[in-house]
Structure 1
């Protein structure tokens, strides 16, 4: 299967070719025709599987076939849980719409920054990418109308619902036209997703792309048993010993993320944290530097990592284990992307050993455990 067989706009096909995209991913192959045929879609696929392009490409194709709306009446609404994801999705829309014969305007709105520039940017918008809270602020200020929405996309729907956006989503949905196309994408299928899909979607095309063993097998995993008080020194030794040029470190809380960064900086490591308590400017700058390879170490909480997509990130470290085995797979999946080999390292205390066994069982893969406090151990990787 190739993109040329999916009835996309000829200009988009040329753009895909120029960007060396020749073969659609499984989620794109299944979702693009369904969206072009105006079907409701429920897509379940892991992060990094190409979900964004699977709705961006058919939406842009359909907008080329219509006249579009004017003023502050967007045609398309994409809802996401974080500012970083909103910016990332906006960037994808911009990348594919630059050469389209019919101009398409995409605007991303989210909290944490001044609302006035966003209000001004909404003039003539076609595609509105938004976080729920800021969207409702704009609606309450009469800065935007949802009366002309033809397509609603809920991206990262599992996180939208897990983060307590249910009330906001219900209010937004109540303001939309009854006749519209609904597209729901999620990395997981849980009871919340089942409930909202039954309410929101009309006879949907259900697409479930199972994670393959190969996607995990591209990632070399190892875990070190280290006491909580020794995790900091061990982490610094690990980064130096393996000569890590770039590494993403996961913490389970804002407090721990900041503490890790403070210790790293005191020991002359170039590190920054990204989490919900950071200003939007600080978060954007940290991500840009990390993507450009100008920041060696980025420490993130699970939610913020949804906006981190780097094709050749060599190392991921779990300073703490996540609560959910699915979050563990999502974390380590930040490396080993685009068929590139990656290395995932977990620091596991004695109290976390049972939980780590559960994670391995759910993942279906055994991870080599090394006593990190044994002075004779080696790091398990070739360096």
Structure 2
């Protein structure tokens, strides 16, 4: 798409051309007019879709230069590396402008940062925690703010920095709010709802070309760890279907905990590969598991485990999504004629990693409905701020990220495609 479609100033188009940008990204085309028009906006797009350049251009179009000491734009990012990248993008696209921009990321003394801010600034790029600390020291004046931007919002939520974001947003008063994220889920919505009223949400799904054929993929979106255990126990109850299963977790400690939490009808039915303690049920080699008839479920930790031979295993469960997507991809790429079902569980916090995997394989992973008889564990805060566990059935809601009702187009009756097991779908058999 031509840069002209963005309706930018000639100066900005020239700056983009000089920087090597030859066309506009889809997210930029969809949102630029709304950003320039001052609307509140939630922009959802995968990594590398051009979100940062998007709001940098919007800021440079909207920013009215003056001699005010107080900043007109506050941009919150999850870490120093991101802050430096945003500042670099501004400097790249604002040549020949006297742009005053300061980064607050907590590596220097606060007194120096306060003094720099008092000299006058147009744009502040900051970590939420650092910006809040400087604000409480009366060093960050938000009274003139025109744009409040949260970048990589899903990472900010993952790091637990929602409170400083909300406090800063409320302190800023009336201004334009822009949130950029790769995914939307319940915890993110809870943060956004604190300071945005009826924002427009625009989403772009940019998937790369499909690079390789994969096993049959399925995804269950669940709220927490305990519900994952409940779901795995519920599914694996059917030992005729799930006659041999490998379950992947991230650490050996989790493998140990999961091994004790899984229900088993027979001795040696559940085991761990390279168990944490010598007296636990387990195997040193996956071939021993394959050759043991009574062994049905093998739990494997990603840490310290090199490539293992998964041939002959019809079901692979990713109880946790590996942070290194290559670990996941190495298991789900089809290498022969074997039919394998790769089933993943993901919480809200893991959806970011799921999106990266989908970008790599060039296809969306089908989302399955949660079984109706699944017990969902939800942490609820009582009046005394103590955390208690509330168990609810999955009747309402049944699934989806943050448990929104599914669109009809997303409702799937997924075929396993594994010989006689092709007759069985999770939705019909367990849903």
Q: TM-score, with normalisation over the residues of structure 2?
A: 0.52
Q: What are the Cα deviations for residues 281-317 of structure 1, in whole angstroms up to 9, with x where unaligned?
A: xxxxxxxxxxxxxxxxxxxx95xx9xxxxxxxxx945
1:162-311 to 2 correspondences below 5 Å: 162-176=158-172, 178-209=173-204, 211-212=205-206, 214-215=207-208, 217-218=210-211
- From 117, 120, 141, give the equivalent of 1:124: 120
Which structure shows the higher helix fraction? Answer: 1
- Residue 20 (str. 1) matches residue 20 (str. 2): yes
Asked if structure 2 preserves the Cα contact closer than 8 Å seen for 1:322 and 1:328, the reply is no
- From 86, 91, 106, give the equivalent of 1:89: 86
1:99-114 to 2 correspondences below 5 Å: 99=95, 101-114=96-109
The SS at the match of 1:84 is helix
Equivalence for 1:68: 66
Structure 1 position 218, deviation (Å): 4.2
Aligned residues: 267
- Residue 79 (str. 1) matches residue 76 (str. 2): yes
Give the direction of change, closer, same or farther, for the CA distance of 1:32–1:228 in structure 2 (3 Å limit). Answer: farther
Instruction: After the TM superposition, list the runs of 4 or more consecutive aligned residues in structure 1 that deviate by more than 6 angstroms.
Output: 219-222, 225-228, 319-322, 333-336
Give the direction of change, closer, same or farther, for the CA distance of 1:229–1:50 in structure 2 (3 Å limit). Answer: farther
The SS at the match of 1:158 is helix
- Residue 6 (str. 1) matches residue 6 (str. 2): yes
Structure 1 position 152, deviation (Å): 0.3
- Structure 2: unaligned runs, 5 residues or longer: 216-245, 249-271, 276-300, 306-321, 332-343, 363-410, 416-431
Q: Output the CA distance in 2 between the equivalents of 1:132 and 1:82.
A: 9
Structure 1 position 145, deviation (Å): 1.0
Give the direction of change, closer, same or farther, for the CA distance of 1:192–1:112 in structure 2 (3 Å limit). Answer: same
CA-atom RMSD, angstroms? 4.2
Asked if structure 2 preserves the Cα contact closer than 8 Å seen for 1:216 and 1:333, the reply is no
- Residue 59 (str. 1) matches residue 52 (str. 2): no
Q: What are the Cα deviations for residues 175-232 of structure 1, in whole angstroms up to 9, with x where unaligned?
A: 10x32111011111112333344443344332111x35x426247879xx899669xx
Q: Output the CA distance in 2 between the equivalents of 1:228 and 1:148.
A: 59
Q: Output the CA distance in 2 between the equivalents of 1:146 and 1:219.
A: 50
The SS at the match of 1:78 is strand
Equivalence for 1:151: 147
Structure 1 position 34, deviation (Å): 0.6
Q: Which has the larger radius of gyration?
A: 2
Equivalence for 1:39: 39
Structure 1 position 68, deviation (Å): 3.2
Give the direction of change, closer, same or farther, for the CA distance of 1:332–1:148 in structure 2 (3 Å limit). Answer: same
Q: Output the CA distance in 1 between the equivalents of 2:92 and 2:195.
A: 30
